[in-house]
Amino acid sequence: MSADQAAAAPDEPRVSTPDNSLAAAVRGLEDAAAPVVDVTRQAVETVRHQSEAVAEVAHQVADATIEAAEVAETHAAVSTGARVGFFLDGLLHAAMGWAGLQIVWMGRSSSTADESGALTGIASSLGGRAVLWVGFLGFAVVALWNLSRGLTGRHCRTGRKRLEHAADGLTYVTVAWSAAAFAVGTGQTSRESTMGITRTLLALPAGVLLVVGTGVAVAGVGAFSVWSGLSRDFLLDLAQRPGRLVVAVGILGFVARGVVYGLVGVLFFVAAWTHDVDESTGIDGALRFLQGVPGGEAALALLSAGLVAFGVYLMTRARHLRA
């Protein structure tokens, strides 16, 4: 074929290879995905900036909370109120222990062996409502004092001690609430309130787990109390060593209080297992439960004496409170 014929011949069609088709498809996907990638990148940047802003606000709130807790913990009015609250709580625990001893000696007691029984006795006495309102303020301040110490970690050697203060703070919130309820005439016994809480929790979805969790929390408070007594960690809350007698009273009191709370936690477990709210009966029910077990009378006497001892310690703590 001549050169002119070759030039005049039509071009042969190019055959697309698989590699060329794949590259074209990839380029098409990249072009289509580019806007999505840009929008996603912008969204990620926006979320990152917002997260940083939220974290900064949270950090500022945490700092402000700690500062407020430090002011509250060291304020003279809070210290004075906490002393009043600790002293009154000491009287309540002494009354609880005395009621338990009456059960041992006479088989019965004029009041329930718990804080509600002591509050009922105060409410029915001359000027009792006024005393209960003073108690409400004192217990509320003690709750604030404990929660503040849990936040700041002041005079706390370990995180366990901070957690103990936080748990005690929540406990005093309930005591303050009870004092106010009895002051206005709507108070319930520990047995009634505990059974009511258990009934409400069991009616909720996963109610059994909630009751078990409540029992674990109560038993945990008891474990902290026992540990504080055996390790003498409670002395950190006192401005000075009060003497060997008070130290011995404090050890006995903390251990007894912890065992009682442990029994209350066990009764929550039993109520969850049996789905019977009557099994969850609070401190009074826990102490009376001991009457039906071998050696229970001796254990009830020892725990009741321990609650009296804990009351004595609390009154001592009111005097030697470490600011």
Tell me what pLDDT residue 310 has: 94
What digits encode the pLDDT tens for the residues 105-122?
A: 877 666 666 677 778 777
What digits encode the pLDDT tens for the residues 179-196?
A: 888 888 777 777 778 888
Range of the structural domain that residue 156 is part of = 75-320
In this structure, is residue 67 part of a structural domain?
Answer: no
* Beta bridge partners of residue 222, listed in sequence order: none
- Using CA atoms, how far apart are residues 59 and 66, in angstroms rounded to an integer? 11
Q: How many helices (H) and strands (E) does the chain have?
A: 11, 0
What confidence category does residue 237 fall into, taking pLDDT thresholds of 50, 70 and 90?
confident
User: How many structural domains compose the chain?
Assistant: 1
In this structure, is residue 303 part of a structural domain?
Answer: yes
Terminal Cα-to-Cα distance of the chain (whole angstroms): 113
Q: How far is the CA of 207 from the CAs of 146, 174, 191, 194, 288, in angstroms?
A: 30, 22, 19, 15, 26
In this structure, is residue 58 part of a structural domain?
Answer: no
Tell me what pLDDT residue 62 has: 45
In this structure, is residue 176 part of a structural domain?
Answer: yes
Q: How far is the CA of 295 from the CAs of 52, 119, 284, 292, in angstroms?
A: 61, 30, 18, 9
What digits encode the pLDDT tens for the residues 10-35?
A: 555 554 455 566 666 666 666 666 67
In this structure, is residue 35 part of a structural domain?
Answer: no
Mean pLDDT of 4-13: 50
In this structure, is residue 12 part of a structural domain?
Answer: no
Mean pLDDT of 289-306: 85
Transcribe 212-268 into DSSP letters.
Answer: HHHHHHHHHHHHHHHHHHHHTGGGGGBSS---HHHHHHHHHHHHHHHHHHHHHHHHH
Residue 60 has pLDDT above 60, yes or no: no
What is the distance of C-alpha 31 from the center of its chain?
56
- Using CA atoms, how far apart are residues 114 and 261, in angstroms rounded to an integer? 11
Residue 135 CB contacts under 8 Å (≥ 6 apart), including other chains: 85, 88, 119, 122, 176, 179
In this structure, is residue 142 part of a structural domain?
Answer: yes
Tell me what pLDDT residue 25 has: 65
In this structure, is residue 79 part of a structural domain?
Answer: yes
- Using CA atoms, how far apart are residues 234 and 252, in angstroms rounded to an integer? 12
